[in-house]
Each structure stands twice: as C-alpha cells, then as structure tokens.
Structure 1
Amino acid sequence: MIAPTLLGHVGAVSGATISVRQFEGVASGIAIIGGRSYRVGQVGSFVRIPQGYHDLYGIIAEVGATATPEAAQNLSSRGERWITVQLVGEIVETAFERGISQYPAINDEVHLVTEDDLAKIYGTAEEGQVVIGRLAGAESIPVHVDLDRLVTRHSAVLGSTGSGKSTTVASLLRAIVRSTDGSSNFPSTRILLLDIHGEYATSLKKIAQVFRVSPADDEKPLFIPYWATDTTEMLGFMMGKLSDPAFAAITDKILSKKLQLAKGGMYDGIDVNSLTFDTPLPFSLKQLWSDLIDPEIKTWNENTQLTSAIEKPGNAEKLVAPVYPLPGPGGAKPFANKTAVLSIRRQLDQMRSRLLDRQYDFMLHPGDWEPTLNDQAKKDLPELLESWLGTDKPISILDLSGIPSGVLHHLVGGILNILYEALFWGREAAEGGRQRPLLVVMEEAHRYLGKDADGPAKAMVQRIVKEGRKFGVGAMIVSQRPSEIDDTILSQCGTFIALRLSNTGDRGKVQSALPDSLSGLMDSLPVLRTGEAIITGEAAKLPIRCRITLPPEGARPSSEDPRVSQAWAKPKAQEDYVSLSGPWRAQNPKWKRGKEGN
C-alpha cells in the first residue's frame, strides 16, 4: 500500500543536494493527511527520506522545470515534475541532529513532512530555548531559538520598512524576558537597547528602564560623560583637526591632570605607573580650555617675558578668556608670547562653541558626572555602570532620538566603549560579562555602521563582534538596509532573522552571508507577510519560516504606519501649530505648552 505522505523518489544525488522525481499519483497541489491539508512541493517546506532506523530531512529549494537534473533534460523524463531538495539533518532514534551521516540512494522514497514529524524537530524545548513564534506552515508548532548562541554568536534582524522589524525586535526581547505564562525564565537578563528613533519606550516600558535626554516622569536622564569615552575621538569632536605636536601637548596636559587626581587615592584600581590620557578619570574641559587659551593670546610688558600685560583675568567656569592688549607694532610693547604657543586659536573657539551649545549638555555637562574646575565629580564610573547595567529591570533603553545626528557616531562609539571596556576588564567579576552576559541591540545600525563610515561606533562594533563572545558581550544588529552594513560586521553575525526584503542588493547581501545555501528559500523574502521571518544560523536548529508572535495591543513600538483614510475622514478640528514648533525648538516630542520643565 502506498503511504499517503509519499511525494516522490530520489532521482539524483549531488552532495547535500538531491533531485526528486515527483510521484505520478500526486496529482493535486494539496494532500489531505490525517484530516489536515498539506501543500505538495512548497518551496521552504520539509521532506523526509526514511533510511531504516533513522530519517533524513531536507528543505525544498526549487520546484518545476528548472529543478530538472541536467542529465535528464534531453531524455523522455524531461517532462516530469522535479524537486530540488537541500539535506539539512537527520533524526537518530528520537533526537534531531544537524548534518547527515549518510546519503540517500537512487529511488529512495521521499515523503511529505507532517506536523507530527515537525514536532519531533521543534517540539522539544531544551534548556536555554526561547519561544519566539510559530511555524508559518504549521501554526501549532512553536519555534524555539537557542539563547546562548543568539547572544554569544551575535545576530542580525533585517527587513524593509514596514516589514515588522521593530515589532519583531520588541517581541523577541519580551520572549527572552517573559515566558508565555508571564513568569521570568531568566531573572538576571541584561539587555541594553540603543533606540535611535524613540520607538521602544512604550512597548517595553513594563520591563525596561528608559534613559532619555529630556526624560518623562518615569524615565531617567541620559548622560554620557565625555571623560569616560575615547579621548582621541572626544578631542576630534571638540576641536576638529589637530596637528601632531598640538595633540601631543593637549594629551600631556590631560595626563598631568589625571595623574595629579590619581595620586589623591580617591579612585579604586588606579596605578600611576600604567596611567594614560585615556584612563577613565574625570577632568574639567572648561579648565582645559582656559589653560590652553591663555598662552595663545598672552602678551608681555617686556621682551624678556617677565611681567604679564593682562588687563582682565578670565573666568574658566563661564568660559571667558582673559583680556590682553594686542602685540605692539614692530618692536614696541606689549610683546607677543613666545612659549607654549600651539597655534590652535581656531580649534579653541570651536571647543568653546561646543561647550556652550546646549544640545550637547548630555555629554559635555553630564549632571553629577561633570567635574568641577579642580577635576572633582559627585558621581563616578561605578554609578554610571550601575544605572545602565544594574537596574532592577532586565532591559535598559538608551533613547537617542533627541541626539544631534552629527554626533551620533561619536556618541554610539562612546557608549559601546564604556560598556565593552568595563565588561572586558571586569570579566571575572560577578557583575562582569562572563558571569552575567550583556546583549547590545543596535537599532538603525546602517546609520553608523555603513561601509564608508569611519568613526568610533564602527570600530567598537567590529571589536565586539570579533572578540565579544569570549567576554560575554553579544550584539544584535537591526537594519532595513543590510547592503549598507559593513561586511566584517555582518559576516560575524551567526543568526539571521530576515523579514521581507524587496531590494535585490539587500537580499543578495543576506543570501551571501547565510550559512545555508538555500537560494530557493531566500527567494521568498520579497513575499513574506508582515511579521513573518526566515530564521537561520547558529540559534536555529534548521532554517525556519516563522510567524513571529506579536506583542499585545498597546505594547508595540511606535513605528506603525498612520491610518491615512481614518485620519483624513475625521472632521477638521481647531488647530494650534505651536504644538509643532514647540517640540521642535525643545527637541522633545513630548513637549506641552505650559508644562513645567519644558
């Protein structure tokens, strides 16, 4: 008796690719088995090849005339229906294993995979597995991903605008933090999300602490102390291009200030013998500016430079330069300064402008982390790291929507530098990366990780994806333009969650980076439904077409399309356009007229 699941017979074997001659008795595109309907020969669906005591499993990659083996193209069998299958794994006894121990033989039977078969592959929830959705072709089968591999081997969530990318990320993070019954499987979860557009505060507010430049009542202010970021990058942002002698002189001044501070014994872990200008110790930018501007404009009453010609002292706190008379003509007094002049007047003007620009206060005037003129700050690195990584909620969202775009590269690089250096050097501590790993989720990654980008953000992410696994720092790259992401970064992502991608270049980038050569499966990327994804790589047992579980209404990212027809169908109401100009000027979308603190 012919089994109802029989699809065809093996006609050719070429490595992990086999060609299947479809059984003549399968006349319809739908088979009814056990009261359930199954599509016959669906690209992306599984097939089973019995091999005695165990079964081989494969994925249909191609169907129809183009799947016909070359050897059969000029024979009478050319008109028959053929299917190309990629072998992916086998079930030995009751456990599914990736890879195969033997190949099928010619004329071996090939069967449709039923939901009972799929349950054998996906139905067992091993330790460290997270349910993120349901199989697209069998909604009763949950889809699990391996949390260990998802974090340590890095991942990428890729999809065109409107494909459900932000919702997928929110759903994935909620699944990690909370199981389906609302309990916490991983109470020590530690995730930090860089939110470029401010989309996630609403959807994750119950499980996340939000940090924002202009915080709401239940949010905390976002501060990134300049002295904890890379000093070279910080000086480049503050002053622009510096000559080598000027850079060396300025960093020598910074090192001298930090060395004097270190000798006071106030800071743990400081060794004066290994101190560098990059050691994260507070120093005053205002005082540094004052120390640098003075020799640039100084004049003397005599050529021997014994008596200063100063007319009015400066004020470092208010960034007011001292007043000196201009050098006299010819050999007349006052005389121009001849020592310690770096010719950086233009750079110092830019530095002062940056310090006075209120839009950079979160970094250059970071609240309690801003040092006084004598380099003392109320709060130190431990308080900063604890506020980001030690919150009582499993997710910390750094909302960067109010950040000037011109400083985004520097800012993201600074944040990642603080996190990685702390977890790298403290990797053996209970709070370190190895004892309590960190997942860093980077939204809109193409904005600062592009091929042509040359900044601290790209350099730090490259370091994380190359070395982070050993120190407990994982990366999740989220982007709508994978073709613009740096090749080194994308190639290090072990797991891909690919939603609908319409652009040919983006699809090609994903396909070339995938560990499984399943071109037929990848060709379905343009026609995936919203919220549907192909998951492949380290964290998935097999490449999966998955329907991502949607978060509940009211807990979704604020990135949904506006309902144009409903909005335009409403009667036109009285309008006040101060509600547009006010938030723009305040650089705060939650600004309200008359509200305190705006």
Structure 2
Amino acid sequence: MTDQPSLKQFLDELSSYSDEDGSGASSSTEASIPPIGRVLEIAGSGSRIWMDFSRLQMLQSHSDTSVAMSGQVGSQVKMLVGSSWLIANIRTLQTGGDGKVLGQIDFLGEGQAASGGRMANFRRGVTRYPIPGCEVMPVTTADMRAIFAAADDPHIEIGTVYPTDDIRGTLYIDPMLSKHFAVLGSTGTGKSTSVALILHRISQYSPEGHIVMIDPHGEYSAAFKSCGELFNVDNLQLPYWLLNFEEHCEVMLTTQGSERQRDADILAKCLLAARTKGKNVEQYGKLTVDSPIPYLLTDLSQILVSEMGKLDRAGDTTPYQRLKNKLDELRADPRYGFMFSGMLVNDSMGSFIAKLFRLPSHGRPISIVDVSGVPSEVTSVVVSVLARMVFDYAIWSRTEAQRPLLLVCEEAHRYVPKDENSGGQAVRKILERIAKEGRKYGVSLGLITQRPSDLAEGVLSQCGTIISMRLNNDRDQACVRAAMPEGARGFLDAIPALRNRECIVCGEGVAIPIRVRFDDLEPEKRPASSDPSFAAAWRETGDEEGIISRTVKRWRGHGK
C-alpha cells in the first residue's frame, strides 16, 4: 500500500501548472486551470479533501467568477472519475497548517466528461466515488451552466444563481408541489415579495391552476389584482353550516375541563337534530354531526330551548343556556356577519367551492383569502374550514378528473404551533394531515413563516422543497438545518449572511441545492408589505386632521 503524497510533493505538483499570463489568473481555457487539491478521505457524506491555500489565493483574481469562488464554504468542486465529473459542495473548512486547508464535502451529482475538460448531462446523485489522492478541480461557469441547465420538465425561473450573473435558477413545478414546500425568512428579508414572485410565475405557467392563499395581513391582494380573485369579510360569505363538529365547538364552547365535555355532548345532540330537521335523510345517506348539511340557526336555538324545557332541575339547564347565549351573541354581532348571517342558509356549497377553488379559473388561478378583518377569536376556525374544504374536496373527488389544489398558508406558525396546548386544535390537525397525506390526494401545501422553530415538529420535515431566506435566530437556523438534506448542509452557513431577496433552495424542486438572487418583481405585482421610511415620513406634515377623521371613520366602521 503506497503512502499518501506528502504536502511537499503535492505543492510541487500544483506549482508545475503554469499560468499563461503568470498573474495567477488562468487563461480562459479550462484545461489551463490547475487542480486546487486532492481527495483525502472518502466516507459517504463525510468525505474530506486537501486544498492548497496559495493556489486558492491565486485563483481569487480569476476572470471566471465561479473559479474565483473556489474553496469557499458553499462553493463547488469537481473530481474526474473514469469518464464522469463528480460535483461536490464544500460544507466546512479548517486550516491544516503549512499552507494547507482541510475541507469537508458533500457529493451532489455527476456529469459526463466532455472535450476540453467540460461537463455535460449533469444528474443528481453519484454512481461511483473517487479514491483518495484523486485531483480536486475548481468548478467553472461553464460547468455551472451544465449543472443548472433546466430540463424539459415543467419549471419556472425565479432568479440568478450565485455567484454567476446570468445562470438562471429554476424550480421544477411537479416535484415542488407534489411534496409540499416551505418559504422561510426573518421579517424584512423580502419574503412576501419572493412568495408573490413564485406564485406569479406558477400562475403564468398554469393560468388554469387552482391556488388558495390564506393571507392574515391583507398583503397579497395588491399583488394579485390582475390574476386572482380576492376574498375578505365583505365578500367571503362562508356558510356557518360548513363547520364540522370540532369547529362548532371551538366557536361556541366557552368552558373548560369536564364542563366543556358536557357542553360538547349537548351541542352534538342538538346540532345533529338541526341538520336533519325537515330533511329527507335518505337522499343524503348516513348523516352525522360533521356532515356539511345546511341548517337554520333559529332551528338550533329552538332545539336548545326545547331540550332545556324537558329538564326538571334548574341547575341542569345551565349548559343549554350557555350555548343559547353564545349562539345569540354570534347572530347579533356584525363582525361575524360573513359567517353567521341568516342569508347563508341556502345550499351554496357547490358555488362556494367553484368560486374559492377557481373551478374553472378563467385565467385567474389564485384565490387570496384576506382574513385580516376576521375577529381574532375565530380566525383559526376560518382557516381550519378553508383548509379542510381543500382536503375534503380532494378526497371526495378522487373518482373525477383530477384538479390538484395548492393551499398556501402565510404565517404558518400561527396555525401549526409547536405548543400542542395552544388554541386552534382543528386547524392544527387539518394542516398536519395535509402535510402528511395531501400528496396522495393531489393537495399541495405551501408554508410561509418567519419562525420555523415555532412550527410543530415534523411539519417542516414533510416539505420536500425548502426555500430559506436570511434567518437571524439561532433556533430557527438549527430547525432548518435539521430539515435540510445532507447535501445542502454546506449552504447553511450562508443563511445568516444572505442579502435581502436572496435565498438557499434545496430539495425536490431543484436539481441540486442552489443559492439564488430573486428577480425583481414589477411594482404592480408586489404585495403591500414594504416597510415605511421613518426618516422620510417624519419630514412630512399637513392634513393631520383629515387623516385622523378618515381613520376614525374606517376604524369604527371596520373598514367600510
């Protein structure tokens, strides 16, 4: 067994490669670029290489930006094995002393070795590994073009691959949507604009698509005026009878513990009676308390009073009275008019589904559901109903022509929180179920959050594609690190250092993990999420009285 080459031999060999201009910046021909090191150890994902510090320094002035980046964390290197170039990503670096740098690498894929040292037909995964002592070469921009050349599969372009100026970063639509995706990023990193860009690109590619977006802040209405339908408390008209029993409980029950269970039993009995009252039950088949059958709120109220009248002792009537009082409160409060209006008793389920899911879409494939005007006590219930409608429709339409649905949930950590004891259990259950089972039924989930560490365990790991913008919090970074595949670990160190509107993309939606600078989005397609300039706004004055009076009027009229 031969000894590994000594560092002196290694440096002598490196120095034998002469630059054509003697400046350390090699000529444009790839054959003239010398190796930068050798393979030291092969151990699957924990493979290591040696690199020469002086050689890396010389290449930093190379005219090819990809070559100039050689040896940095997150950059790529290549090794020739037989007739294939293996591409690896540098995960970590440390000094080895005596002018040598030790790097840990992850193998990403391989391409065919073409003439002039070039590469063609890149594909993810490697079929064979190099042996220790194999030369390590820098990756050129031409190699990057081969790596990121978009296949013929349906894809969208979202930006430019770092560190190049013209290589396009693409997302493959089917792998990204079929296995869910997540967009992560701290506040102020350009997350909303980037999400709008991705959805605009998908809409342009699939103008007959079916996308439902839950918008908790009313940001996205401005971005999708031209290609979407906008819903808010004024026009949503969400029928109360679409709520299942668990959602009814979240809206109507005010007690806890054993009292809550007693109230729930009474509500179940009375709600089923209201759903079946005056109906030909046989036409529906088996009816349950969860069945989305229209019923009158007055019927439910009368049934509660009737059941209360059958009781002997006054103390036994308390839970009935509680439920009736809550029901009366919901009917009387104008904030709940979009849901508990007496006008919503007609069987509008078909038209509601057609309108919300864009069936057909008529070139406007996105429904933006602005829940910012929904009372905070029922926001999670409204989101639960919408998400469950998406999932249930997909289940019950399996025998029909496929119409896959994409549900995008902004501020996802609100609805699928880590804390299992927090409110909104119905929305948590349905979103977790979509994350686990949605792809079987043609339901895709897009989660957007600034706090991935506050998301329920396992939900992020169900997302096959992760688009991470800058994350400043250590816990959030650790959470993303755990969810990202092995080959992307080298990119993770760049997450705290990403610029605004820059991201790391890894997983099913890309050929290999990439760092991308998002394209600029036209002003009319951007969400209303830009931060105000304090310095500029505080210089302006005038019309304060008018501003206040108009604001108070809107405030009192809840946006009317």
Place the TM-score, normalised by the shorter chain, in its bin. Answer: 0.7 to 0.9
**Cα distance in 2 between the residues matched to 1:32 and 1:157:** 35
Q: Residues 570, 278 of structure 1: CA spacing in aligned structure 2 closer, same or farther, 3 A cutoff?
A: same
Q: Note if contact 2:64-2:140 (Cα within 8 Å) is conserved in structure 1.
A: no
Q: Note if contact 1:224-1:415 (Cα within 8 Å) is conserved in structure 2.
A: no
**Deviates most, 529-538 or 420-429:** 420-429
Residue of structure 2 aligned with 1:258, choices 249, 270, 275: 275
Residue aligning to 1:279: 291
Whether 1:399 aligns to 2:399 is no
- Superposed, which structure 2 residues align to 1:224-373 within 5 Å? 224-241=238-255, 244=261, 247-263=264-280, 270-272=283-285, 274-296=286-308, 343-365=319-341, 367=343, 370-371=344-345
Q: Note if contact 1:209-1:396 (Cα within 8 Å) is conserved in structure 2.
A: yes
Q: Note if contact 2:416-2:456 (Cα within 8 Å) is conserved in structure 1.
A: yes
- Structure 1 residue 245: deviation in Å? 5.6
Give the residue type in structure 2 aligned to 1:578. Answer: S
- Structure 1 residue 508: deviation in Å? 0.4
Residue of structure 2 aligned with 1:10, choices 27, 32, 39: 39
Residue aligning to 1:159: 185
Residue of structure 2 aligned with 1:513, choices 483, 489, 499: 483
Residue aligning to 1:49: 79
Q: Residues 512, 425 of structure 1: CA spacing in aligned structure 2 closer, same or farther, 3 A cutoff?
A: same
| Identity between Structure 1 and Structure 2 (%) | 30
Residue aligning to 2:508: 538
Q: Residues 298, 100 of structure 1: CA spacing in aligned structure 2 closer, same or farther, 3 A cutoff?
A: closer
Q: Note if contact 1:516-1:537 (Cα within 8 Å) is conserved in structure 2.
A: no
Q: Note if contact 1:445-1:479 (Cα within 8 Å) is conserved in structure 2.
A: yes
Whether 1:386 aligns to 2:354 is yes
- Structure 1 residue 186: deviation in Å? 2.1
**Cα distance in 1 between the residues matched to 2:65 and 2:338:** 62
The size of the alignment, in residue pairs, is 514
Q: Note if contact 1:359-1:404 (Cα within 8 Å) is conserved in structure 2.
A: yes
Note the alpha carbon deviations across 1:347-381, whole angstroms, 9 max, x for none: 321221122111111111174xx22xxxxx1x421
Give the residue type in structure 1 aligned to 2:370. Answer: D
Note the alpha carbon deviations across 1:500-527, whole angstroms, 9 max, x for none: 0000000000001111254442121111
Superposed CA RMSD: 2.5
Gapped regions of structure 1 (runs ≥ 5): 69-76, 179-184, 215-220, 300-335, 372-376, 589-597
Give the residue type in structure 1 aligned to 2:280. Answer: K
**Cα distance in 2 between the residues matched to 1:522 and 1:261:** 61
Q: Residues 19, 511 of structure 1: CA spacing in aligned structure 2 closer, same or farther, 3 A cutoff?
A: same
- Structure 1 residue 341: deviation in Å? 5.2
**Deviates most, 354-363 or 480-489:** 354-363
Residue of structure 1 aligned with 2:522, choices 552, 565, 572: 552
Residue aligning to 1:28: 58
**Deviates most, 526-535 or 232-241:** 232-241
Q: Residues 339, 559 of structure 1: CA spacing in aligned structure 2 closer, same or farther, 3 A cutoff?
A: closer
Q: Residues 138, 448 of structure 1: CA spacing in aligned structure 2 closer, same or farther, 3 A cutoff?
A: same
Q: Note if contact 2:67-2:139 (Cα within 8 Å) is conserved in structure 1.
A: no
TM-score norm. by structure 2 comes to 0.86
**Cα distance in 1 between the residues matched to 2:49 and 2:107:** 12
Q: Note if contact 1:20-1:85 (Cα within 8 Å) is conserved in structure 2.
A: yes
**Cα distance in 1 between the residues matched to 2:64 and 2:195:** 36
Gapped regions of structure 2 (runs ≥ 5): 1-15, 18-31, 114-119
TM-score norm. by structure 1 comes to 0.81
**Cα distance in 1 between the residues matched to 2:104 and 2:66:** 25
Whether 1:81 aligns to 2:101 is yes
Q: Note if contact 2:467-2:504 (Cα within 8 Å) is conserved in structure 1.
A: yes
Residue of structure 2 aligned with 1:145, choices 171, 180, 193: 171
Q: Note if contact 1:223-1:366 (Cα within 8 Å) is conserved in structure 2.
A: no
Q: Note if contact 1:10-1:20 (Cα within 8 Å) is conserved in structure 2.
A: yes
**Cα distance in 1 between the residues matched to 2:309 and 2:164:** 76
**Cα distance in 1 between the residues matched to 2:552 and 2:131:** 72
**Cα distance in 1 between the residues matched to 2:88 and 2:327:** 62
| Secondary structure of the structure 2 residue equivalent to 1:21 | strand
**Cα distance in 2 between the residues matched to 1:459 and 1:16:** 36
Q: Note if contact 1:229-1:415 (Cα within 8 Å) is conserved in structure 2.
A: no
Q: Note if contact 2:81-2:129 (Cα within 8 Å) is conserved in structure 1.
A: no
Q: Which has the higher helix share?
A: 2
Residue of structure 2 aligned with 1:446, choices 402, 407, 413: 413
Give the residue type in structure 1 aligned to 2:240. Answer: Y
**Deviates most, 110-119 or 81-90:** 81-90
Bigger radius of gyration, 1 or 2? 1
Q: Residues 258, 294 of structure 1: CA spacing in aligned structure 2 closer, same or farther, 3 A cutoff?
A: closer
Note the alpha carbon deviations across 1:135-160, whole angstroms, 9 max, x for none: 02112111111111111101110000
